[in-house]
Amino acid sequence: MKFDRKLKQYVCQSCGLTYTDAELLEARWRRLDVEEDEKKRRSREYLDWWFKSKKKQ
């Protein structure tokens, strides 16, 4: 992403998609939320697997 001073927006060099400062910040926060949800899901799946393996013993 490169900042275009004339447009006052960030522009993707490969596809031309543009973001304002506020849109880019919001997109970053959404991405962080998704990553955090994914970490929680993986942790929960691991713990489920671990507890099931202990019950079999």
Q: What is the mean pLDDT of the chain?
A: 88
Q: Look up residue 8 and give its DSSP letter.
A: T
pLDDT confidence band for 20 (50 / 70 / 90): very high
pLDDT at 43: 93
pLDDT at 57: 64
Q: Which residues contact 18 (CB under 8 A, 6 or more apart)?
A: 4, 7, 9, 10, 11, 12
Whether residue 1 contacts residue 12, with contact meaning beta carbons closer than 8 Å, is answered with yes
> pLDDT tens digits for 32-41?
888 888 999 9
CB atoms within 10 A of CB 57: 4
With a pLDDT cut of 70, the percent of the chain lying above it is 96
Alpha carbon 53 to its chain centroid, in Å, reads: 31
| pTM for the whole structure | 0.49
